[in-house]
Amino acid sequence: MSGPGMSGPGMSDPDSARAKLRRILALVKKESRQMIRDPATIAVGIVLPVILILLFGFGLSLDVRNVPLAVVLQEPSAPAEDLLSALALSPYFHPQVVYSLEAADRLMMAGDVDGVLTIPADFARRFHAGNARVQVVVHGTDANRARIIESYVAGAVGAWSVRRAADDGTAMDGGPVTIQSRLWFNSANDSHYFLVPGLIVLVMTLIGAFLTAMVVAREWERGTFEALFVTPVRSGEILLGKTIPYFCLGIVGLLLCVAAGKFLFHVPIVGALAVLLGASMLYVLVALGVGLLISSYFKNQLVASQLTMLATFMPALMLSGFLFDLRSMPVGIRVITYLLPARYYVALLQTVFLAGDIWPVILPNAAVLALMVALLGYASRAVTHKRIG
């Protein structure tokens, strides 16, 4: 570590802990000033997380409500009208009656309705005979939504027929076997419950990586990094000095996100706040580390920015389990997801927010994040150090 030119005059022992601390503090001070005087950095650290969490918190939802549905009523009859009004009363559908298939198809093609429910002409007669049929056609361009609509329509029609049969006096159950389903941790079936914790992951990933990615690459491009090397500071100290101020900024952004999730989107925090914060601090460090490593390695703002975007944003969105179930991905892709820090943080946040302090989930995930912090710190130092010599 120590080499010629590293020990400055007036400092008795440059390796003493006090001298180290003093140098780090000086760097932190310099970096903090630079950060505070640059409105863009403050905007990224504090304003941006809030805007993003608000925008996405309100904008993202996978809940299916008020589905515009065309109902083709081929022959008005009492049971058909009754079914129709049951659909109209449901919060899930917004039915619109048409009298021909052509009209319904036109609405589908134009994208004005997401599905067509056809109640055939013989519906009333066959319903009394106990073997009526209805047909539902859904618009498959959004397959996930289409499948939910399909099952909601089947559920609504099934529930209606059981109730109607009971009213008519022909006692009827829901079939030989009925499922009583319960959704643990999210009994309201509100997609915000898992989207908001996932969004916090996404926002922190970007904020952390971006805050540092540009800083170091810029110093390399401007040559101010070389200037730092002729001072007695060590490469590890430089990295620490860069990390600490941005870490604090990232934590402020995180607290704002958590507060928005709790008070604005009413996502419960079942686990302990301390666990949530501890896990988040680890993750902010990982994100900062990724940014540091990319920028120390490439030393070019253009490449660093492109890579940070690619290495953080899209993987955190697609491969973290935030939206898509990791267990259903092919083995090769699943192996890659284990390399992504976001995966562990998503598991941590979804558990701590919704399920509570479940240590068998928290400990292994937190351990991996801690390991990543150590590896990233070591790698950035190695990369920075190598370039000095």
Instruction: Find the binding residues for other proteins in span 280-309 (CB under 8 A).
Output: 298, 300-303, 305-307, 309
Q: Is residue 182 near other proteins by the rule CB under 8 A?
A: yes
CA distance 114 to 136: 11
Nearer to other proteins, 89 or 166 (CB): 166
Nearer to other proteins, 7 or 191 (CB): 191
Q: Is residue 190 near other proteins by the rule CB under 8 A?
A: yes
The minimum distance between CB 69 and other proteins, in angstroms, equals 13
Q: Is residue 146 near other proteins by the rule CB under 8 A?
A: yes
Nearest CA to 71 out of 42, 94, 43 is that of: 94
Neighbouring CB atoms inside 10 A of 130's CB total: 10
CA distance 225 to 238: 9
Q: Restricting to residues 236-275, name those near other proteins by CB under 8 A.
A: none
Q: Is residue 176 near other proteins by the rule CB under 8 A?
A: yes
Q: Restricting to residues 148-167, name those near other proteins by CB under 8 A.
A: 148, 150-151, 153-154, 157-158, 160-161, 164-165
CA distance 204 to 359: 23
**Binding residues for other proteins, how many (CB under 8 A)?**
108
Q: What is the CA radius of gyration of the chain?
A: 29
Q: Is residue 336 near other proteins by the rule CB under 8 A?
A: yes
Nearer to other proteins, 115 or 289 (CB): 115
If phi > 0 it is left, if psi is from -120 to 50 it is alpha, else beta; for residue 366 that is alpha
Q: Is residue 112 near other proteins by the rule CB under 8 A?
A: no
Nearer to other proteins, 115 or 377 (CB): 115
CA distance 351 to 329: 21
Q: Restricting to residues 202-241, name those near other proteins by CB under 8 A.
A: 206, 210, 214, 218
| Cβ atoms of residues 282 and 370 within 8 Å | yes
The minimum distance between CB 14 and other proteins, in angstroms, equals 32
Choose, by CB under 8 A, the member of 78, 89, 272, 314 that binds other proteins: 314
**Residue 117, H or E segment:** strand 115-119
Phi/psi of residue 356, nearest 5 degrees: 115, -170
Choose, by CB under 8 A, the member of 25, 121, 183, 230 that binds other proteins: 183
Q: Among 168-176, 256-264, 274-282, 378-386, which window interacts with other proteins (CB under 8 A)? A: 168-176
| Cβ atoms of residues 310 and 372 within 8 Å | no
DSSP assignment of 91-114 equals TTEEEEEESSHHHHHHHHHTTS-S
Nearer to other proteins, 148 or 248 (CB): 148
AA letter at 357? D
Q: Restricting to residues 10-69, name those near other proteins by CB under 8 A.
A: 40, 43-44, 48, 52, 55-56, 58-65
Q: Is residue 351 near other proteins by the rule CB under 8 A?
A: yes
Question: What's CA 270's distance to the chain center, in Å?
Answer: 18
Coil, helix or strand at residue 67: strand
Choose, by CB under 8 A, the member of 181, 223, 263, 389 that binds other proteins: 181
| Cβ atoms of residues 260 and 203 within 8 Å | no
CA distance 22 to 5: 18
The minimum distance between CB 6 and other proteins, in angstroms, equals 30
Q: Is residue 137 near other proteins by the rule CB under 8 A?
A: yes
